[in-house]
């Protein structure tokens, strides 16, 4: 499996490098990043391990930046270690990265073969072309159990689709979020696992909207402040509706007895079960 991360505007370079180094492990087949400058993508990528890139290249030297930066560490599952197979992939108005294995990519590659020219052999590049054709919302509904996908749009907006696998979200100041396949829990507390579905984020790093496409049981729901699977609303503590309960803790750090009672009532479960979820 690959690893990926999305860093919002103003995020420090050293912190970004630290997050990437934390999950390099066996993801040593390629290193890449992308961001938007003056309406154009700036992509750096090498079919080389992250630790070697950092030693020899000014990787992420543009950070802190005034827009999203998306980074990717590759663990090859399809295709050789070449630049053509290294993420990100620029397709249309999108710069695209993927973590996971998409088993249906060969069929889609064949279907699209008369429409698009593939440069490499990866399932991720095929996914990028399909994403470009049908858009992230339909993509999230059509693809299942294929990992996590991120598409940075030329406008600076970021779309994220999770169909399986790992993606954690951490709230920052100014209502921004940072996302990564995993965080060092000793340095980043109160992260939450992303839901299955699509997410839409503004160029300034803030949340716009999301839609769950499959029921998720996660360690804290970043939008309702609970384990209840539903769309965010202000009354239920929708994202940033209450900075103290949702944004500052981005999950359960200041969960109250009222929250526990809500879990019990809305899901018709016992108080013991609700408490066990809070104490996990």
Angle at 94 between CA 91 and CA 97, to 5 degrees: 85
Band the pLDDT of 217: cuts 50, 70, 90. low
HSE (CB half, 13 Å, CA atoms) of 190? 17
Domain residue ranges of the chain, discontinuous segments joined by +: 3-213, 217-278
**pLDDT at position 210, please?**
92
Q: Cβ distance 16 to 7 under 8 Å?
A: yes
Query: Which tokens is 90 given?
Result: 């620029």
Higher-pLDDT residue of 175 and 266 is 175
| pTM, full prediction | 0.79
**pLDDT at position 216, please?**
61
The residue-averaged pLDDT of 178-182 equals: 96
136 has a pLDDT exceeding 80: yes
122 has a pLDDT exceeding 70: yes
How far does Cα 4 stand from its chain's mean position? 7
Mean of pLDDT over the chain: 81
Q: Which residues contact 262 (CB under 8 A, 6 or more apart)?
A: 226, 228, 236
In this structure, which topology does domain 3-213 adopt according to CATH?
3.60.20
Task: Read off the pLDDT of residues 155-175 as tens digits, 9 standing for 90 and up.
Answer: 999 999 999 999 999 999 878
What percentage of the chain has pLDDT greater than the value 90? Answer: 64
Nearest to 197 by CA among 243, 241, 229, 153: 229
263 has a pLDDT exceeding 90: no
Band the pLDDT of 228: cuts 50, 70, 90. very low
The residue-averaged pLDDT of 197-204 equals: 96
Q: Cβ distance 246 to 270 under 8 Å?
A: no
Band the pLDDT of 278: cuts 50, 70, 90. very low
Task: Read off the pLDDT of residues 26-41 as tens digits, 9 standing for 90 and up.
Answer: 888 899 999 999 999 9
Q: Which residues contact 72 (CB under 8 A, 6 or more apart)?
A: 2, 3, 4, 5, 30, 31, 32, 33, 87, 88, 97, 99
Question: What secondary structure letter does DSSP report for 195?
Answer: P
The residue-averaged pLDDT of 210-236 equals: 50
Question: What secondary structure letter does DSSP report for 206?
Answer: B
**In whole angstroms, what is the distance from residue 68 CA to residue 62 CA?**
11
260 has a pLDDT exceeding 80: no
Give the E-state strand segments of the chain in sequence order. 3-7, 30-37, 40-46, 69-74, 89-91, 94-99, 148-153, 158-162, 168-171, 177-180, 192-193, 196-201, 207-214
The residue-averaged pLDDT of 12-31 equals: 94
The residue-averaged pLDDT of 232-256 equals: 35
Band the pLDDT of 275: cuts 50, 70, 90. very low
**pLDDT at position 279, please?**
36
Query: Which tokens is 16 given?
Result: 């970004």
Question: What secondary structure letter does DSSP report for 202?
Answer: -
Q: Is residue 259 classed as helix, strand or coil in its secondary structure?
A: helix
**pLDDT at position 80, please?**
83
**In whole angstroms, what is the distance from residue 271 CA to residue 236 CA?**
19
């Amino acid at each position: 499996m690959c690893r990926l991360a999305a860093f919002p505007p103003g995020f420090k370079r050293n912190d970004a490098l630290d997050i990437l180094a934390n999950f390099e492990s066996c993801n040593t087949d390629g290193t890449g990043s992308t961001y938007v400058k003056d309406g154009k993508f700036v992509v750096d990528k090498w079919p080389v391990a992250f630790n070697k890139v950092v030693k020899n290249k000014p990787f992420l030297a543009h950070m802190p930046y005034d827009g999203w930066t998306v980074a990717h560490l590759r663990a090859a599952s399809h295709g050789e270690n070449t630049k053509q197979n290294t993420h990100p992939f620029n397709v249309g108005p999108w710069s695209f990265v993927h973590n996971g294995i998409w088993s249906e990519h060969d069929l889609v590659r064949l279907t699209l073969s008369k429409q698009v020219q593939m440069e490499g052999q990866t399932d991720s590049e095929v996914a990028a072309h399909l994403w470009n054709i049908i858009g992230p919302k339909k993509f999230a509904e059509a693809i299942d159990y294929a990992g996590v996908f991120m598409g940075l749009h030329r406008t600076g907006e970021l779309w994220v689709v999770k169909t399986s696998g790992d993606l954690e979200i951490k709230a920052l100041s100014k209502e921004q979020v940072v996302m990564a396949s995993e965080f060092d829990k000793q340095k980043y507390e109160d992260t939450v696992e992303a839901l299955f579905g699509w997410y839409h984020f503004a160029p300034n790093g803030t949340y716009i909207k999301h839609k769950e496409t499959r029921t998720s049981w996660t360690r804290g729901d970043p939008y309702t402040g609970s384990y209840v699977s539903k769309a965010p609303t202000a009354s239920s503590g929708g994202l940033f509706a209450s900075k103290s309960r949702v944004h500052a803790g981005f999950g359960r750090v200041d969960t109250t007895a009222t929250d526990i009672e809500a879990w019990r009532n809305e899901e018709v479960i016992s108080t013991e079960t609700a408490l066990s979820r809070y104490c996990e």
